[in-house]
């Protein structure tokens, strides 16, 4: 009887674990460009340099203007996160958008805003802290 109960418990646990992992939503990641109809995902500063060096895209900084002027990635457009929902018309629908902030929290929120607004090729590069810690340059105004 103990063997049967142990076997049944194992079956129930295994089935539950399989269903659990099947239902967990995954965050897409990027290291190779996805098809044009797919949503992008996370991208590291190194992958950004490799993937977008010669590819048309928009680099979006969602920090506040004072943070932006302290140091930003060359070519970035600054639209603070709190203004983003009202300024979507400034963003292209037909090219990839790579988003960053200071530490990665606001860029993740901006990624969700753009995804919910129907943008498909959107990439979250996290924070400028990661960018500078890997030795990449910033510009100052």
CB distance 99 to 62 below 8 Å: yes
Segment holding 19, helix H or strand E: helix 2-23
Interatomic CA distance for residues 114 and 85, integer angstroms: 8
Query: Mind telling me the catalytic residues?
Result: 101
CB atoms within 10 A of CB 74: 9
Instruction: Return the beta strands (E) in 52-141 as ranges.
Output: 58-61, 77-78, 97-101, 122-127
- The backbone region for 25, taken as left when phi is positive above 0, alpha when psi lies in -120 to 50, beta otherwise, is beta
CB distance 130 to 102 below 8 Å: no
């Amino acid at each position: 009887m103990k063997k049967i109960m142990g076997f049944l418990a194992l079956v129930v646990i295994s089935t539950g674990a399989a269903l659990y992992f099947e239902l967990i939503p995954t965050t897409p990641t990027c290291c190779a460009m996805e098809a044009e109809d797919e949503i992008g995902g996370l991208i590291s500063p190194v992958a950004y340099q490799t993937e977008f060096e010669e590819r048309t895209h928009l680099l979006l900084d969602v920090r506040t203007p004072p943070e932006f002027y302290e140091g930003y990635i060359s070519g970035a457009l600054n639209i603070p996160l709190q203004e983003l929902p009202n300024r979507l018309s400034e963003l292209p629908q037909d090219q990839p958008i790579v988003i960053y902030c200071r530490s990665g929290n606001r860029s993740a929120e901006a990624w969700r805003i753009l995804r919910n607004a129907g943008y498909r090729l959107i990439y979250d590069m996290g924070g400028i802290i990661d960018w500078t810690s890997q030795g990449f340059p910033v510009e100052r105004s």
